[in-house]
Amino acid sequence: MSIIGFHRFLISTAILFCGGYAIWEFFNFSTTGSISTLLLGVFFSLATGVLGYYLANLTRFLDRKQTP
């Protein structure tokens, strides 16, 4: 596995973690009503989106040609 392939794996893992944690925080917000859990859910939702965008455009960020 190349370093870029391993980087894709790590970013994918981070996306899954952030998405799962956001869902968990939103669930906690629905049961407790705590504003801090809502803010954490929103933050990790945004982090999921940013990491997804980064993964989708990784070759552009690394300034390499995309191979099929």
Q: How many domains does the chain have?
A: 1
Q: Which helix (H) or strand (E) holds 49?
A: helix 35-56
Q: Could you report the per-residue pLDDT of 29-65, keeping only the tens digit for each?
A: 999 999 999 999 999 999 999 999 999 998 887 776 6
Residue 55: the pLDDT is 93
Compare 66 and 44 and report the one with higher pLDDT. 44
Domain that holds residue 7: 3-62
Q: With 80 as the cut, is the pLDDT of residue 67 above it?
A: no
DSSP 60: H
Do residues 59 and 5 make contact, with C-beta atoms less than 8 angstroms apart? no
Residue 64: the pLDDT is 62
Question: Does the residue 68 lie in any domain?
Answer: no
15: Cα separation from own chain's centroid: 3
3-state helix, strand, coil in the chain (%, to 5): 85, 0, 15
Residue 68: the pLDDT is 56
